[in-house]
Amino acid sequence: DILQRLESKKIRERQDGLSDIQEFFVRDSSINELDSREWTIVFEALHTALMAEKADCLKKTTKNLHSGAAAERRAGEVATVFRSLLERCVHQLNKGAVTHILSKLLDAMIYQYRLFIPVSLSLIKAARAMLSFEPHLEHLEDNVWVRWVTIGFNIIFGEPTKKKLSE
C-alpha cells in the first residue's frame, strides 16, 4: 500500500512510497476519484513522511556529514509532492479537511518557533494555493486565519512564530 510505505520508518520505503504516489496521481482522473475524506488520509500520510524526514534532518550525527543534506533533500521532495497534490485537488476539499491540512502545514514548516527552511517555501505555496481558492478562504475559521497572519507577521519581522500580535 502506497500510504503505508509513506508512513514507514525506513527511508527507502518512504522514498518508494513518494515515487508511487507521484506515479498514481499523474492523471487528472485519479485526482478526481478521491473525496475530501480520502484526500485528508493522503495528506496525513504525506505529513507523516515529511515529519520523519524533518526528524532525520534534525538528528545530531557525526556518522555521516552528508546524511543531514540528504535528509533535507528528501524533506524538500516530500514538501514539493505535498504542494503539487494540494494544488491539483484543492477544489475537492471541504472545510474540515482545509483546517486540518493548514494545521499540518504549520506543524511541518515550523521548528523551534522559526521556519524550517528545507520545506517552508513549498508549504507556504501549498497554503497559498489552498487559500487562493475563494470558497476555502471565505469559510476559514477566524482562529485559523489569525494564527496564519500572526505567524506571517512574526516571520516578516524576524520574531519567534509563537509571539502574539498583541505583544
For the segment 71-118, what is each residue's pLDDT rounded down to a tens digit?
999 999 999 999 999 999 999 999 999 999 999 999 999 999 999 999
Rounded mean pLDDT of the chain? Answer: 92
What's the whole-number mean pLDDT along residues 33-58?
A: 95
Question: For residue 153, what pLDDT band results from cuts at 50, 70 and 90?
Answer: very high
H helices present in the chain, as ranges: 2-6, 11-24, 28-32, 36-58, 67-89, 95-109, 117-132, 134-138, 142-156
pTM recorded for the entire structure:
0.91
In angstroms, the CA 9 to CA 133 distance is 34
Q: What local confidence, expressed as pLDDT, does residue 68 receive?
A: 81
What's the whole-number mean pLDDT along residues 29-37?
A: 94
- Which residues share a beta bridge with 115? 110
Q: How many other β-carbons are positioned within 10 Å of the β-carbon of residue 81?
A: 20
Q: What local confidence, expressed as pLDDT, does residue 58 receive?
A: 86
DSSP classification of residue 1: -
